[in-house]
Amino acid sequence: AKRKGRGLTQVYKEKLLAEQERNFAICQALKTAIAQNELSVLFQPVVAAESHAVVSYEALLRWNSRDYGPISPDEFIPIAEDTGEIVPLGNFVLDAALGQLVRSGYHDNPLKMAVNVSLRQLIAPGFLEAVRSSLARHDVRPGDLVLEVTESIFDTRQQPIISFVLHQLDSYGVEIHIDDFGTGYSSLSRLHELPIHALKIDRSFVHALDTHGKAIIEGTALIARKLGIHIIAEGVETPLQARQLEELGIEYLQGYLFGRPSPKLMESHRIQSA
Ligand code: C2E
Ligand code: CA
Ligand code: CA
Ligand code: CA
């Protein structure tokens, strides 16, 4: 048993080392990703539950590294958050997303764009200015920009700055949505403290609609409604899930059923939103 134990420790150490080496390599490659044109942004629609009309798009970052090939945001975003590289990356996404919105006929047919924002980015100096200047540069109404943040905004140590930034954004008219809702700190009791416009129910609950998911979604929807907060369900893959969510009173849906992330905004939003 002793020998086996040592063997496992060795395997574990090697795995950890390999992981650290990869993280370091990714971290280095990320620094030149923007300049080398390795980044792109895809767009996934959010639809109204009743009509299935597109109401907004979410911008999702993609990285195709010259040296390492495509790397998932689930892998490189946490690294970029650690190194601070998320700040230039985040600015890139914001600008690319608003640029694509405008090129897709925004000025004739207004539509909302949602952009993911890491906590590190939100509280970095210059964030508010970056948002304002990007909105101004593209002539997009602040009310048509949604910023998706996670429950990490309830982090108590950073509360003064987080609260300041969110209230500033709110005063511009920018919407704040909480992403992956239900997976982090249970923050239902603190929802009223910050200017939150909508919750995005994490897809793990949508995929568990036939077990524990239903009760959690129902409970969240009940409280959100009382607080005047909208609800979006993400990860909707089947017509049955869509129907169940609509019956629970969820207003907006997003998922492969309605559209995968794609480089262009769908033509059809014009017809549907008209
Ligand atoms: P997220 O914000 O929760 O985005 C939803 C993820 O679920 C996306 O993965 C999307 O492609 C995927 N998805 C959408 N519909 C479905 C569905 O019906 N079923 C399933 N199984 N998955 C679905 P993606 O694009 O790989 O992004 C992963 C995460 O990386 C995002 O999760 C977000 O946390 C982060 N991320 C992506 N782009 C950015 C960005 O520009 N900035 C920041 N800070 N984070 C980003
Ligand atoms: Ca998101
Ligand atoms: Ca999410
Ligand atoms: Ca997520």
DSSP state of 262: B
Mutate to test the pocket of ligand 1, among 60, 95, 206, 252 (most ligand atoms within 8 A of CB): 60
Which residue in 198, 197, 201, 185 sits closest to 153, CA to CA? 185
Q: What is the pLDDT of residues 216-261, one digit of tens each?
A: 999 999 999 999 999 999 999 999 999 999 999 999 999 999 999 9
Return residues with CB closer than 5 A to ligand 2 (ion).
Answer: 116, 148, 179
Which residue in 256, 267, 265, 264 sits closest to 233, CA to CA? 256
In degrees and rounded to multiples of 5, residue 123 shows phi and psi of -100, 5
Mutate to test the pocket of ligand 1, among 76, 116, 122 (most ligand atoms within 8 A of CB): 116
Which residue in 272, 116, 143 sits closest to 200, CA to CA? 116
Q: Which residues of the chain have pLDDT under 70?
A: 1-6, 186, 267-274
> Has the ipTM of the complex gone over 0.85?
yes
Closest ligand 1 atom, CA of 261?
11
| CA-proximal residue: ligand 1, atom 27 (nearest) | 73
Closest ligand 1 atom, CA of 73?
30
- Res 5: pLDDT: 62
